[in-house]
């Protein structure tokens, strides 16, 4: 199975772009961040390891305490690394199991930290979705209950667009729906040409 990774900084619209490939061309789409959250909630080994790492407060009545975990990992980088070491290998395996059941020219793996987590190594091609910083911040302030300060903290913890682009095969600049869809059509055609 040909694996195409799709990533981009927070607020770039990578999920929106990934869904366009699915909508227009039926390309199977794996949303790594969504699946990671599901596994953190449903996998007994993950729950046990996270509780061992963060204490009983990691789950309240069996439900993942996201606010508490976010506070823990933002104040302590080593805890973030330990949490990632628990989750990323399992998401990577879950993805491969899923990908092997798909029937399509290629599959898309959408992940915010595709490079940072090392999961780019699973991919045959990589698409980076970009948007100007001001646009990204405006989107996030509209979408989430957050502050510009919190957004910048997340952005500073992610690879820069320049660093991602240097390792990517395709770049989609996501400003307007119409322009983005045209780039999706063009990128899909190029991928098909490369894998034939």
Find out whether 15 is annotated in a ligand binding site: yes
**5-34 pLDDT, tens per residue?**
999 999 999 999 999 999 999 999 999 999
Kindly report the backbone phi and psi dihedral angles of residue 135, in degrees, each rounded to the nearest multiple of 5, phi listed first. -65, -45
Which phi-psi region, left, alpha or beta, contains residue 11 (left: φ > 0; alpha: ψ -120 to 50)? left
Find out whether 11 is annotated in a ligand binding site: yes
pLDDT at 76: 86
pLDDT at 157: 82
Tell the CATH topology of 1-28+102-196: Rossmann fold (3.40.50)
pLDDT at 77: 84
pLDDT at 86: 95
From first CA to last CA, the distance across the chain in angstroms is 12
pLDDT at 180: 98
Residues with pLDDT less than 70, the chain: none
pLDDT at 11: 95
- Per domain, the residue ranges of the chain are 1-28+102-196, 34-89
Which structure tokens are listed for 130? 């970009």
Find out whether 43 is annotated in a ligand binding site: no
Threshold 0.85, pTM exceeds: yes
Which phi-psi region, left, alpha or beta, contains residue 2 (left: φ > 0; alpha: ψ -120 to 50)? beta
Find out whether 16 is annotated in a ligand binding site: yes
pLDDT at 154: 85
Find out whether 14 is annotated in a ligand binding site: yes
């Amino acid at each position: 199975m040909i694996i195409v990774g799709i990533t981009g900084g927070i607020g770039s619209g990578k999920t929106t772009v990934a869904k366009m490939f699915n909508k227009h061309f039926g390309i199977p789409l794996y949303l790594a961040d969504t699946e990671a959250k599901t596994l953190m909630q449903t996998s007994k080994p993950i729950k046990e390891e996270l509780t061992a790492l963060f204490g009983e407060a990691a789950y309240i009545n069996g439900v993942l305490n996201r606010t508490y975990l976010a506070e823990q990992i933002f104040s302590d980088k080593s805890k973030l690394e330990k949490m990632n070491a628990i989750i990323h290998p399992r998401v990577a395996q879950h993805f491969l199991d899923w990908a092997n059941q798909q029937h399509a020219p290629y599959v898309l793996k959408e992940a915010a930290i595709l490079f940072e987590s090392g999961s780019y190594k699973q991919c045959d091609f990589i698409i980076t979705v970009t948007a100007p910083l001001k646009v990204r911040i405006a989107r996030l302030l509209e979408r989430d209950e957050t502050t510009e300060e919190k957004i910048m903290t997340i952005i500073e913890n992610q690879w820069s667009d320049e660093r991602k682009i240097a390792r990517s095969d395709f770049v989609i600049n996501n400003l307007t729906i119409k322009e983005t869809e045209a780039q999706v059509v063009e990128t899909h055609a190029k991928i098909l040409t490369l894998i034939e």
